[in-house]
Amino acid sequence: MRTQVLARLLALLSVSTLFSACAPNYCPLPSRAAYQGLYPQYSVKANASTSLGAGDIGFLLTTNGMLDYRLAFVDTIDSPACFAGIVRSNNNVVDVRDPGGSFVFPNVRSGDGEVRFSLAPGASVAGLDIAVGQAPIYLDLFIDGSAAGTQILYTDADSGLQSRQTPPAAFQ
């Protein structure tokens, strides 16, 4: 009898471990107010690819040039880091979508003209697609609750080179 109970407990433990390894790790949404100062502004090259090197962690921003943006968050070191942020535009964020495919969709709350999101993706690529009615898009982004050390990678429209900025920042 004890052997059967022990075998059942071990089976349940391995199943719950399997599910917890596959489930996204939601972390708290940002509770702070969105940045109210002047945002430095940058231009993103339409339809350009942006990448993050091995051993790096950060946000990637791309656009199709028609007011649709993809914000991905990547952790190539598989850390427990929590990616979080606040996204706004001049006339409210219009639509937030799951990018689908291999992306993990974060915890999202929309309202009051902004979107707040959070997720600790580990080794998974996470992100969201955002459509706005008017550029620029304003990003307040944090890793583990801090903008310090947080980077936004994008391809600069003027130079065509991949660039990195620290938040808060505005992109068009």
pLDDT averaged over 10-residue windows placed end to end, the chain, 172 residues:
38 32 68 79 96 91 95 91 90 78 84 86 89 90 91 96 95 94
d(CA 53, CA 141): 19
Indicate whether this model's pTM tops 0.75. Answer: yes
Helix segments in 23-142, DSSP class H: none
- Sort 131 into a burial class: Cβ within 10 Å, 0-12 / 13-18 / 19+: middle
Q: What is the CATH number of domain 41-171?
A: 2.60.40.1780
